[in-house]
Amino acid sequence: MSTNPNTFEALEVGQSFSVNRILTAEDVKLFADLTGDDNPIHIDNDFAETTRFGKPIVHGIFLLGIISKALGRDFPGPGCVAVNISAKFLRPVPVGSEITVEVRVGEKIEKYRHIKMKTYIYLGKKMCVAGDATLIPPGEDV
């Protein structure tokens, strides 16, 4: 078993990680099935065409889950625990889009040995989600 090197001591303000992902209709349908959130704005093309968005859009909470994956599996990665995650949904993400998730160390909170991350989702160059996540980094006692 390897140890995650992204400990409180090793992480530095400004470090970042980004990853791209295509959000397919199948992904969105699976999320709807798992959560029970089958709002037709997300999964019904005919219904979505009648809305201001004109096509199905990805669940906002699904987008937060992808941010959570980036934090928990990628950077800082395995062993970190979220204490708080908040976000603003700035614009919709159409189903079938390729997004870029970016997470960046924004602050180290020495008193609690927590890391405050800045979190973003982009569609092309347009920011769709912006938020913060406070984490207990890998290697810390929970």
Give the residues across from 134 on adjacent strands.
84, 116
Confidence grade of residue 115 (pLDDT, cut at 50, 70, 90): very high
Query: Distance between the two ends of the chain, CA-based, in angstroms?
Result: 19
**Each residue's pLDDT tens digit, 25-74:** 999 999 999 999 999 999 999 999 999 999 999 999 999 999 999 999 99
Residue 109, pLDDT > 90, answer: yes
Domain ranges of the chain: 16-136
Residue 1, pLDDT > 60, answer: no
Peptide bond preceding 76 in cis form (omega within 30 of 0): yes
> What mean pLDDT is reported for the chain?
95
pLDDT value at residue 139: 85
Q: Which fold has domain 16-136?
A: Thiol Ester Dehydrase; Chain A (3.10.129)
Structure tokens belonging to residue 67: 């941010």
Structure tokens belonging to residue 36: 């029970």
Residue 142, pLDDT > 70, answer: no
- On whether the pTM is more than 0.85, the answer is yes
- Structural contact between residues 114 and 84, judged by C-beta atoms closer than 8 angstroms: no
